[in-house]
């Protein structure tokens, strides 16, 4: 085996080991790497007794605003959670929109201290959005129809 | 392939390609800037803010591509000791760092109006910040030794170790819940698809092409000046060596 050959194998083995190590570490810390939990996670185990973040879609028709007192339901495909929040909402916040709320569970209600809007990966001009809605391909409060089925909100 | 490890051979090709790359870069920018910043439509949710995307995504694309190039060159340098590979990697690093910083800054300026925050520690943002530190570390380490050959080796090892981060950045939005949205391009069983309307996707592709050509054009210029500087150094060294060899004879 020439020295060049040996160095090639050494580099390849090193990268393989490094990749495997990184994969193991990231799987082990899976719970710490996620930025937010889904309503399904919260239904399954009591992860939000301490501060945490939950993310989901704001359920259509669930938003109640009285001044700065805000209540809405946050849902994924399986479960939904009631959220209460006092403060100012980001511009993108609306029903059918993905949001991330930071706070803790209190008697079955998630009391949020901060709400962030999650933007989705769909981009289109307003006329196209209007045409899709007018033709009935896209209902208000739903994710826009694209060639892609996974919206990225239901990863877990 | 090994033929092109010779600096003269390599530069002959690089110099031949250069006018085409530079011309294409100018052409693409001339098309991309007006289309992206003026003629493309606003987004139905984000309005005019969507125009940040053209710069943000293009910078992010380059920061990933340049790191890939540095890592590949580092491997070539470590395995075959190609001198051209380490020069190309060194010349690319500052450009990668700048595009990484641009991606981070434009991302923050975009995040504030859209998400409601400049920064969160989600997987995508955190791994991108790590990439920026890798670039800075690479540049510092490459120049940290008196003997530049040792700097080349140490920096190449760092670049290869850090390459683990590149797939993590790319797939972070698929593997974990992040505030950052998922990729706009997806390749799946149904083929390659995009969730972006054509009228927004076209200026994005133009801009990404322009950025990419800009990098390659700058790379050729940097390689040229790097090789000239090396020639000057060698000429000085041989001059000094000539002097000291000549002295005892006096």
Phi, psi of A72 (to 5 degrees): -155, 165
> Which residues does chain B have within 8 Å of residue A92's beta carbon, measured at their own beta carbons?
45-46, 114-116
In terms of Cα–Cα distance, which of B81, B93, B83, B125 is closest to B106? Answer: B125
From the list A11, A36, A128, the residue facing B75 with the nearest CB is A11
- Asked if the model's pLDDT at residue A141 lies above 60, the reply is no
CA atoms within 13 A on the CB side of B33: 6
Tens of each residue's pLDDT in chain B, 250 residues: 677 778 888 888 999 999 999 999 999 999 999 999 988 888 888 888 889 999 999 999 999 999 999 999 999 999 998 888 999 999 999 999 999 999 999 999 999 888 888 999 989 999 999 999 999 999 999 999 988 889 999 999 999 999 999 999 999 988 888 889 888 776 665 566 678 888 889 999 999 999 999 999 999 999 999 889 888 988 998 888 877 665 555 4
Query: At A139, which CATH number?
Result: 2.40.50.140
**Residue count of chain B:** 250
Alpha helices by DSSP H, listed for chain A, are 3-28, 30-33, 39-44, 126-134
Q: Give the A window 26-85 contacts with B, CB below 8 Å.
A: 26, 30, 33-38, 55
Please report which confidence band the pLDDT of residue A135 belongs to, taking 50, 70 and 90 as the band edges.
confident
- Which residue range is the domain that position A42 belongs to? 35-156
> Which residues does chain A have within 8 Å of residue B197's beta carbon, measured at their own beta carbons?
123-125, 128
* pLDDT for the residue B218: 96
Q: Please indicate whether, in this complex, the C-beta atoms of A119 and B78 are within 8 angstroms of each other.
A: no
- Asked if the model's pLDDT at residue A156 lies above 70, the reply is no
* pLDDT for the residue A42: 82
A69 and A81: one domain? yes
A69 and A143: one domain? yes
Q: How many CB pairs under 8 A join A and B?
A: 136
* pLDDT for the residue A78: 82
> Which residues does chain A have within 8 Å of residue B195's beta carbon, measured at their own beta carbons?
120-123, 146-148
Question: How much is the average pLDDT of A7-16?
Answer: 90
How far is it, in rounded angstroms, from Cα A56 to Cα A77? 9
A94 and A117: one domain? yes
List of residues 6+ apart from B219 with CB closer than 8 A: B88, B91, B92, B95
Please report which confidence band the pLDDT of residue A4 belongs to, taking 50, 70 and 90 as the band edges.
confident
CA B231 to chain A, closest CA, distance in angstroms equals: 28
* pLDDT for the residue A142: 59
CA A14 to chain B, closest CA, distance in angstroms equals: 9
How far is it, in rounded angstroms, from Cα B120 to Cα B103? 15
A90 and A155: one domain? yes
- pLDDT tens-place string over residues A76-110: 888 888 999 998 888 788 888 889 998 888 888 89
* pLDDT for the residue A154: 39
* pLDDT for the residue A147: 41
Cβ atoms of B114 and A90 within 8 Å: the answer is: yes
A91 and A28: one domain? no
How far is it, in rounded angstroms, from Cα B124 to Cα B244? 57
* pLDDT for the residue B36: 92
A61 and A132: one domain? yes
A132 and A149: one domain? yes
The model's pTM is 0.86
More confident residue, A35 or B100: B100
Cβ atoms of B108 and B132 within 8 Å: the answer is: no
- Bridge-based pairing of strands B185-188 and A109-117 is unpaired
- Any CB–CB contact under 8 A between A15 and chain B? yes
* pLDDT for the residue B1: 62
- Rounded to the nearest angstrom, the gap between the alpha carbon of residue B242 and the centroid of all alpha carbons in its chain is 41
Q: How many domains does chain A have?
A: 2
A105 and A152: one domain? yes
Q: Please indicate whether, in this complex, the C-beta atoms of A22 and B114 are within 8 angstroms of each other.
A: no
A79 and A96: one domain? yes
Most confidently modeled range among A41-55, A136-150, B135-149: B135-149
């Amino acid at each position: 085996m020439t020295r060049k050959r040996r160095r090639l194998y050494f580099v390849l083995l090193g990268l393989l080991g490094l990749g495997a190590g990184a994969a193991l570490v990231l799987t082990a810390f899976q719970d710490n790497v996620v930025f937010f939990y889904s309503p399904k996670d919260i239904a399954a185990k009591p992860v939000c007794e301490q501060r945490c973040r939950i993310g989901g879609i704001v359920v259509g028709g669930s938003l109640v605003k009285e001044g700065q007192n805000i209540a809405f339901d946050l849902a994924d495909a399986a479960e939904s959670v009631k959220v209460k929040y006092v403060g100012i909402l980001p511009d993108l916040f609306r029903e059918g929109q993905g949001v991330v709320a930071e706070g803790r569970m209190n008697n079955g209600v998630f009391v949020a201290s901060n709400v962030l809007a999650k933007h989705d990966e769909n981009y289109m001009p307003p006329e196209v959005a209007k045409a899709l809605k007018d033709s009935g391909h896209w209902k208000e409060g739903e994710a826009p129809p694209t060639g892609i089925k996974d919206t990225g909100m239901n990863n877990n | 392939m090994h033929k092109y490890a010779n600096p003269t051979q390599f530069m002959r090709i690089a110099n031949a390609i250069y006018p085409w790359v530079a011309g294409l870069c100018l052409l693409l920018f001339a098309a991309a800037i007006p289309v992206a910043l003026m003629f493309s439509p606003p987004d139905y949710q984000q309005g005019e803010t969507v125009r940040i995307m053209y710069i943000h995504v293009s910078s992010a694309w380059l920061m990933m591509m340049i790191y890939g190039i540095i890592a590949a060159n580092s491997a070539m340098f470590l395995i075959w000791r190609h001198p051209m590979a380490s020069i190309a990697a060194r010349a690319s690093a500052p450009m990668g760092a700048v595009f990484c910083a641009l991606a981070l800054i434009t991302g923050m300026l975009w995040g504030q109006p859209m998400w409601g925050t400049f920064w969160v520690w989600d997987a995508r943002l955190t791994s991108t910040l790590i990439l920026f530190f890798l670039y800075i570390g690479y540049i510092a380490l490459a120049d940290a030794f008196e003997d530049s050959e040792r700097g080349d080796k140490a920096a190449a090892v760092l670049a290869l170790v850090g390459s683990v981060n590149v797939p993590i950045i790319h797939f972070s939005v698929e593997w974990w819940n992040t505030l950052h949205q998922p990729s706009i391009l997806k390749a799946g069983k149904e083929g390659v698809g995009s969730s972006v309307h054509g009228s927004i996707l076209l200026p994005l592709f133009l801009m990404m092409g322009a950025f990419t050509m800009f990098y390659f054009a700058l790379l050729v210029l940097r390689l040229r000046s790097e090789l000239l500087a090396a020639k000057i150094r060698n000429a000085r060294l041989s001059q000094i060596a000539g002097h000291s060899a000549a002295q005892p004879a006096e």
